[in-house]
Chains A and B, each alone.
Chain A
Amino acid sequence: MTPFSDPSKTSKFPRLAALWESDLGYDFRQSRLVMIATVIFFLLILAALLAPWIAPMNPYDPASLDIMNSSLPPAWYQDGFAAFPFGTDDQGRDMLSATLYGLRTSIIISILGVALASVIGITLGVIAGYFGGIIDTIIMRVADVQLSFPAILVALLIDGIVHTIIPSATREDSAAAIIVLAIGASFWVQYARTIRSSTMVEKNKDYVSAARLFALPSTTIMVRHIIPNVMGPVLVILTINFGLAIITEATLSYLGVGLPPMQPSLGTLIRIGQEYLFSGQWWIVAVPSVALGVLVLTINLLGDWLRDVLNPKLR
C-alpha cells in the first residue's frame, strides 16, 4: 500500500481497512502480545461455536459414551488411541470433545449471563436516572449494598437458594438457566450505576425536554431516545464482565453447584479431574484447565488493552 492512499477507497473491505489504519488499529499493531492474544481468542471462540461440527464425538450424548473407554491416556502414550487425542475421563468422554463442548457451554452461558445483567442493569439504571426520587434511592441503595459483596458469593447464594426451592426433578435441565440467572443477578450493578449517571445527564438535555413537550410516554422516551445515547460505556463494562462471568461460571461448576457432570462445563471437568490428579491421570484436569486458563488470559489481555486504548485520560 503506497502512502497517502485512502484505504477506504482502495481496499475490498473499506471499513475494516479504515479501522486498521486508525489510531486504534495502530495501537493494536504496536503490541505483538495483544495481536497474538486476539488471534488465540478468536480461534477459541470459533472452536467453541463450531464444536458440534469439529469435535470427534458429542460428550453430551449419553448414547455415544462407552464406559469401557474410560480413563484412557492421551494418544502419544502406549495405551492411548488416536481416536482420543487427549485421552478420556472416568466416564469415557473424549477430553478433546469434552473440552470443546465445555468451552462452548462456558462461553454461551457467560454471554447470556452478561446479557441478562446488562438488560437488568440498563433497565434499572435508566429508570433510576430518569425518575429520580425515591425510586432512584431504593435502586441505588440496593446496588450499593450488593456492590460491596463479591459477585461469586452472590452467585453462590442465589444458586443455593434456587436449588432449595425448585424440586430436584428439573435440576439437570435448569442448571444452565440457574447459572445465567446467578450471573445476571450479580453483575447488573455496574451497568445500572453507569447508565444512571449518563441518564441523569441526558435527562436535562434539550431533545428530552422536546420529547416531553410532545407528551410522549416516559417509556418511549427512555427506550427510544435515552438508551441509544447512553450505551457507550456499556461496551467497556461488557468486556470486563465477560471474563468475570466465565470465571464465575467455572468457579460455580468447580464448587459443584454449577453444571452437572453429565453436561460438564470446563469447571465441572476440572472438578472431576482433580480427584485423579494424584493417581496419575493428569490429562483429565490438564486439558480443560489449559483451555480455561488460555481463554481467560486472552480475554483479560484484550480487555486490558481495550480499556487502556479507549480511556481518554491516558491519551
Chain B
Amino acid sequence: MKLKSLLASAVVVAGATFLSLPAPSFAAENVFRFANQSDLKSLDPYALSETFSLAMIGSMYEGLVARDPDLKLVPALAESWDVSEDARIWTFHLRKGVTFQDGSPFTADDVIFSADRVRSSGSDLKSRVPADAVFTKVDDHTVTVTTPEPSPLLNAVWDTWYIVSKSWAEAHDGKEVKVGGTAPSYMALNANGTGPFKLVSHLPGVKTEWVPNPNWWGKPVHNLDQVVFTPISSGATRVAALLSGEVDMIEPAPLQDVDRINNSGKATALQGPEVRVIYLGFDQHSDVLPRSSLTKGNPFKDSRVKMAVYKAINEDAIIQKVMRGAAVPASLMVAKEMFPLADQFKRPAYDVDGAKALLTEAGYPDGFTVQLDCPNDRYVNDEKICQSIVPMLSKIGIKVNLNAEPKATYFSRIFASGGYDTSFYLLGWQTNGSGSVGVLRDLFRCRDEKGNGGGNNVGNYCNPKVDALIEKISSEPNETKRNDMIAEAYRIGQEQEVAYVPLHQQTLAWGVAKNVKVVQRADNDFRFYWVTKTAGQ
C-alpha cells in the first residue's frame, strides 16, 4: 500500500511532460551571453516600438539606413540616396546582391511591401513612415519616395524601420501585423531578415539564441559563434549572474552595484550618457483634473502650478542619491547632445518657498492631492525616482498618491490605446534620430483622442502658436534657421508654459565582463554584432 501511495504521487509528478520548442544542441566556441531586465517578446519588427526589442530584432533585420556607434546615419540596405531640392522626392539606390536568410533576394518589392506593412493596422511603428508618403518602384534596386510636404528628415528614423521579405511574409500570413487573435503570429516567433545574425530559437521570456548569418553582405566586426540572451528582471540576480560568469554582459546594471562590479575584478560597469530624457508630464486639457482631490478646475493648466512642481523637485538630490551620480540634469526635453542651442536653457533652481508662493498665487494655498503614475521596470530606478518625488511635493502641499506598475500595463494605459488615462506621469523620451524636430512633433503638438498630431503628448499640452511654429520647423531645410525656430518653440512651450518638467538624462550602466568589448551607443541601443569576446573567464 505504501507503493500505491507512492505511485499515485509519482504519477501526479510525472504526468506533466508537455510539448515545448526543441532545445538547441549547439556546441559553439565563442558564445556571448547577455541579460537584460526586460524580455524580448515578439520578433515581428513592427509589433512594438521599444528600444530594446528593436535593438535585438536589429541583429536579424536591417533598414535602409543604420546608425553607427556615434549615432551617425550610415547606409545599410540603401547604398546611397538622393534628395530633391524641395525635399519632397527621395530616391534610394538599394544594395545589390543581398539575400534574406531564407535565400530569397532583397529587391525594391520588399521595400514597398514593408512600407505598406509598417503603416498597416496593428503596427506599432506607424509614425516611422509618413502616412501620405508614396513609394514607387523604379527598378529592382531603386525606389522613390514622394511626400506632399517637404520632408528633409524623412529617413532619420528609418534605422529602426526594418525591411521584411515580401515573399516570406505573404507565405506566412504576415501581410498585416497580427495583434492578439487566437493564434500566435508566425512572425512573432520566427525571423527572416538580411542582417548579420540569424535566429536559432526563441522562447519569449526565457531565452533567445542567434548564430552569425554566413550570407550577410557586410563584413563582421564581431568574433562570436553564438549569442544567447536571457531576461533577468531582478537587478541583484542580474549582477550575481555577471559576477559568477553566467553571463558576459548585463543591461542595465543597478546603480547601487556599480562599485561592486568595478571592484570585482571580473567585470566593469560601463557608464555613458543616454540621450533619453526622463521627465514628468501633466494632464493639461481636462477641465477637471481626474484622480485628484479637486472637484473643479485643473491646476495643471496653470503654468505657475507646473513651475511650482518644477521648483519643488530637488533634482540634484535625486541625481546624487537615487541615481548615485549616474545622471545629468536636463533642462529641455531633448538631449543636450542633440541640440546645439541647449545651453540657452537652464533649470530653475530648487526653491521650496518659491514653489509654495507660486502655488498660493495660482490659487492653491493648501495644495491638492493627485495621483502620480509611474512605470517600475522601464527606466533606471524609475519607481525610486517617483518615490523620492512624493516627499518633495508634499513639502509644498501637493499630496501625491503613487501608482507604480509594470510597463506592459503602464504604456497600454497612458497612451492612445488606453485613452491617455493619466493625470500626472513619469516618462522617458528618446528622440529617435530626428532631434528636436521629433521631440516637438511628438510631444508639443496638439492631439486628438485617437493620437493624431502629437501622438505621445499624453497630457495634451496644446498651444496653436507652437503648432504653427512646429509645422514651419518640420519643413525648414536650413539648419541654422531651424534651430532658431526650435529655440523659440522651447522658449514658449518649455520655459513660459512649462509643458513638461524635465528631470535628467539617465546614464547607461552596463555591466560587462572583462574579456568582452562592447559598443555603448548613447541611445542605449545595444547591437551585439559589434561585440568581441576574447578567451578566458
Is A308 part of the binding interface, using a Cβ–Cβ cutoff of 8 Å?
A: no
Cβ of A254 to closest chain B Cβ, rounded Å: 13
Whether the pair A91, B384 counts as a contact (CB closer than 8 A) is yes
Segment with Cβ contacts to A, from B101-109, B154-162, B314-322: B314-322
Known: A67-B322, A68-B321, A276-B256. A261 touches B387 (CB 8 A): yes
Is A63 part of the binding interface, using a Cβ–Cβ cutoff of 8 Å?
A: yes
> CA A281 – CA B393 in complex, angstroms?
27
Known: A168-B403, A278-B240. A262 touches B387 (CB 8 A): yes
> Which B residue sits closest to A260, measured CB to CB?
B402
23 examples of A-B residue contacts, CB within 8 angstroms:
A62-B390, A63-B395, A64-B391, A67-B314, A67-B321, A68-B317, A68-B321, A70-B322, A71-B321, A91-B391, A92-B321, A168-B371, A168-B403, A169-B371, A169-B403, A172-B401, A260-B402, A260-B404, A261-B387, A275-B235, A275-B254, A278-B239, A279-B256
Among B234, B314, B393, B402, which residue has its beta carbon within 8 angstroms of that of A262?
A: B402
* Chain B residues whose CB sits within 8 angstroms of the CB of A65 once the complex forms: 390-391
> CA A44 – CA B6 in complex, angstroms?
45
Is B489 part of the binding interface, using a Cβ–Cβ cutoff of 8 Å?
A: no
Is B400 part of the binding interface, using a Cβ–Cβ cutoff of 8 Å?
A: yes
Is B373 part of the binding interface, using a Cβ–Cβ cutoff of 8 Å?
A: yes
* Chain B residues whose CB sits within 8 angstroms of the CB of A171 once the complex forms: 403
Please count how many residues in chain B sit with their CB below 8 Å of the partner chain's CB atoms.
Answer: 38
The count of A-to-B residue pairs whose CB atoms sit within 8 angstroms is 84
Whether the pair B235, A63 counts as a contact (CB closer than 8 A) is no
* Chain A residues whose CB sits within 8 angstroms of the CB of B259 once the complex forms: 279
> Which A residue sits closest to B381, measured CB to CB?
A90
> CA A260 – CA B390 in complex, angstroms?
13
Is A274 part of the binding interface, using a Cβ–Cβ cutoff of 8 Å?
A: yes
Whether the pair A278, B260 counts as a contact (CB closer than 8 A) is yes
Whether the pair A168, B391 counts as a contact (CB closer than 8 A) is no
Is B463 part of the binding interface, using a Cβ–Cβ cutoff of 8 Å?
A: no
* Chain A residues whose CB sits within 8 angstroms of the CB of B371 once the complex forms: 168-169
Q: Which 8 A-B pairs have the closest CB atoms?
A: A65-B391, A62-B394, A62-B391, A63-B394, A67-B388, A279-B256, A62-B390, A168-B403
Convert B315-332 into 0s and 1s, putting 1 for each residue whose CB lies closer than 8 angstroms to a CB of A.
Answer: 001101110000000000
Cβ of A86 to closest chain B Cβ, rounded Å: 19
Convert A57-78 into 0s and 1s, putting 1 for each residue whose CB lies closer than 8 angstroms to a CB of B.
Answer: 0000111111110110000000
> CA A92 – CA B387 in complex, angstroms?
10
Is B468 part of the binding interface, using a Cβ–Cβ cutoff of 8 Å?
A: no
* Chain B residues whose CB sits within 8 angstroms of the CB of A304 once the complex forms: none
Residues of A within 8 A of B (CB): 61-68, 70-71, 90-92, 168-169, 171-173, 260-262, 274-281
Known: A62-B391, A68-B317, A275-B254. A172 touches B403 (CB 8 A): yes
Cβ of A64 to closest chain B Cβ, rounded Å: 7
Is B176 part of the binding interface, using a Cβ–Cβ cutoff of 8 Å?
A: no
Is B236 part of the binding interface, using a Cβ–Cβ cutoff of 8 Å?
A: yes
With most chain A CB atoms within 10 A of its CB, the pick from B240, B373, B404 is: B404
Is B467 part of the binding interface, using a Cβ–Cβ cutoff of 8 Å?
A: no
* Chain A residues whose CB sits within 8 angstroms of the CB of B404 once the complex forms: 260-261
> CA A262 – CA B374 in complex, angstroms?
13
Whether the pair A279, B402 counts as a contact (CB closer than 8 A) is no
B373-405 residues at the A interface, CB under 8 angstroms? 373, 383-384, 387-388, 390-395, 399-405
* Chain B residues whose CB sits within 8 angstroms of the CB of A274 once the complex forms: 236
* Chain B residues whose CB sits within 8 angstroms of the CB of A275 once the complex forms: 234-236, 254, 256
Is B484 part of the binding interface, using a Cβ–Cβ cutoff of 8 Å?
A: no
